[in-house]
Amino acid sequence: MESLTRICEREIPLQISKTDVSTASYLKSLELVWARAQETARFQVQLQEVKGILRNAEADLIKALALKTRKEAKRLALKDAIASPKGRIEHLKTSIQEQQAKNQHYATLLSQQSLVLNCEPSLGGTEELIHELNNTNGLFKFVRVMRRKFQEALAQGTTVEIFYSFR
């Protein structure tokens, strides 16, 4: 039995040494795990802070995008509001120019005066008729009255010749 005791006495320090190494290794592993757990907890706090910052940034971005969208819509509305009157103004300018050209043409026509150069036989009252024609531009009335006067002159047997021009 002595040999067993000796074997046990030799084995005991070896086992104690192994146990001490295992315990030290276990404690070191436990410290590493504890350090990692603390680091993870710290990262969790940082992650929550970053998420909060990102939420705030996202909210600010949404507000900025909404503001930009409103401004763009307002700009487009103003652009349309300006373009519509511009088109109408251009149309009105064209219409006015056409109307001015017509008015100028009409003024030219109205400014022409009739002049009886020669009338054989001489009919009474033609000067007043010509004056009225030039003032009222009533050519049809003038022609009607002159026709009647010529017919009366022809009925009396006189030949009629008339020369007139427009100025």
Counted domains in the chain:
2
* Nearest in space to 139 (alpha carbons), one of 116, 117, 122: 116
For the chain, give the mean pLDDT: 84
Where is the domain boundary, 56, 79, 102? 79
pLDDT of 12 reads 87
| Domain endpoint, select from 58, 79, 100 | 79
Between 159 and 140, the more confident residue is 140
| Whether 122 and 62 share a structural domain | no
Residue 150 lies in a domain: yes
Q: Residue 140 — pLDDT band, cuts 50, 70, 90?
A: confident
Alpha carbon separation from 50 to 43, 45, 60, 121 (Å, rounded)? 10, 9, 15, 116
Residue whose C-alpha is closest to residue 122's, from 140, 155, 146: 146
* Predicted local distance difference test score (pLDDT) of residue 41: 95
pLDDT tens-place string over residues 111-125: 666 665 566 666 777
* 74 and 120, same domain (yes or no): no
Residue 28 included in any domain: yes
pLDDT digits (tens, 9 = 90+) for 80-112: 888 888 888 888 899 999 999 988 887 776 666
Residues 1 and 69 in one domain: yes
16 and 58: one domain?
A: yes
Largest distance between two CA atoms of the chain: 189
